[in-house]
Amino acid sequence: MSHRIIIVGGGAGGLELATRLGKTLGKRDLARVTLVDANLTHIWKPLLHEVAAGSLNSSEDELNYVAQAKWNHFEFQLGRMEGLDRSAKKIQLSATLDEQGEELVPARSLDYDTLVIAVGSTTNDFGTPGAAQNCLFLDTRVQAERFHRQLLNHYMRAHANQAGSAEQISVAIVGAGATGVELAAELHHAAHELAAYGLDSIKPENMRITLIEAGPRVLPALPERIGQPVHKTLEKLGVTVLTNAAVSEVTRDSLKTAQGQDIPASLKVWAAGIRAPDFLKDLDGLESNRINQLQVRPTLQTTRDDNIFAFGDCAACPQPGEDGRNVPPRAQAAHQQASLLAKSLKLRIEGKALPTYRYHDYGSLISLASFSAVGNLMGNLTGSVMLEGWLARMFYVSLYRMHQMALYGVFRTMMLMLSDRIGRGTEPRLKLH
């Protein structure tokens, strides 16, 4: 029997790893590679803010796991992991229900020789009263599409109102990290596009966007030289940016800060903080931290089981020589770790020593919709190079194309780029349904 590798989580890292292993091990019958995910399709998580604003049609940019598995010599299993039996080397999957609540796929268990957990992260509301009940989150495609529908509903109601008076819509975004900043800029862009399509009962200037950050500046995880120009650009776009403003409570119609400020909002998005899924906490004795991330060694093996690996946002991987700090939860880290594991698991089957992971920071890019982008690129030869404007925007777009190349190959990615170019002249610039 060939070596059984199960990868749980079809995000950017997990899907990329399954694709690589399918091509190198599955195709040659050196391993049986299985990808498990609770959804049938994949969309790149850094694009969810565009799905929420309507700039991206998720049904056109999604990838089907079943087809990807067929093309790349691995298997796909629909299901959500809910348990682990380390002694028997089994994972338990919960039953999958359809839209009517009927059982679509039964609960079952899968056997593994090597298990890789790559289930990503979810937004952390830190137990803020009312946040879970009154805020929208952007962790999944379904959540992003729900926000988009609610945004359009506001516009459609205003458009149907023949009173003739301009109406307003207020959006509050909690968290000025990459997701919050990019969503704010994308919504400003969406307001202009909606008005251009005749939905001008809400004028672009009457979309009130407030970005709320508990820390002293926007993009707190990135260098200040990036945060400052982003802050200025957002204010030029009309976004109200509040720093040193910790949200203490969320109600149906507003957010309250610890400083006593009341911020009215008809749409509220929580985009501050991350945590790994709850089921990882104390998962059959595996070591986890306070935000449920699995503790791993530099080989990406969990600290208490050499047969189980974890990577991406759901793993706490130490950075050597960084005073105990872990690898940051960023897309480039997951990509690097997937590349390492594609080599490591082949070596593991061959009984050879595993390489260790060291994070390489190649810089950061923040998209400000079609208006601009800003960031820095880092390399051994160039050092740190600051980018702004059109050039930064082109580099930002290239990140998604690189992700597509890892999944589809160069030729198919070029065809997708051509298709996107043709579609710009035949489709609305914004999703209107």
pLDDT band at 336 (very low <50, low <70, confident <90, very high): very high
Q: Would you state the structure tokens that stand for residue 284, as one six-digit string?
A: 């059959």
Beta carbons of 274 and 176 less than 8 angstroms apart: no
- Comparing 251-260, 286-295, 400-409, the range with the smallest average pLDDT is 400-409
Q: What is the CA radius of gyration of the chain?
A: 22
Beta carbons of 18 and 406 less than 8 angstroms apart: no
Most distant pair of Cα atoms in the chain: their distance: 75
What distance in Å separates the CA atoms of residue 19 and residue 3, rounded to the nearest whole number?
A: 16
CATH superfamily membership of 131-270: FAD/NAD(P)-binding domain (3.50.50.60)
Residues 6+ apart with CB under 8 A from 317: 296, 298, 300, 311, 326, 327, 337, 357, 359
Q: Considering the entire predicted model, what is its pTM?
A: 0.91
Residues 6+ apart with CB under 8 A from 409: none
pLDDT (tens digit, 9 = 90+) per residue, 34-82?
A: 999 999 999 999 889 999 998 888 777 889 999 999 999 999 999 999 9
**Which residues, listed in sequence order, are joined to residue 105 by a DSSP beta bridge?**
96
CATH superfamily membership of 3-121+276-349: FAD/NAD(P)-binding domain (3.50.50.60)
What distance in Å separates the CA atoms of residue 21 and residue 338, rounded to the nearest whole number?
A: 10
Domain ranges for the chain, please list them: 3-121+276-349, 131-270, 363-423
Same topology, domains 3-121+276-349 and 131-270? Answer is: yes
Q: What are phi and psi for residue 156, nearest 5 degrees?
A: -65, -40
**Residue with tokens 């379904």, as numbered in its chain:** 142
Alpha helices, H only, 161-288: 178-196, 224-236
Other beta carbons less than 10 A from residue 421's beta carbon: 9
Beta carbons of 41 and 52 less than 8 angstroms apart: no
Q: Would you state the structure tokens that stand for residue 55, as one six-digit string?
A: 């700039």
Coil, strand or helix: which one is 277? coil
pLDDT (tens digit, 9 = 90+) per residue, 294-332?
A: 999 999 999 999 999 999 999 999 987 667 789 999 889
What's the CA angle centered on 100, arms 98 and 102, to 5 degrees? 60
Residue 281 has pLDDT above 90, yes or no: yes
Q: What are phi and psi for residue 89, nearest 5 degrees?
A: 55, 60
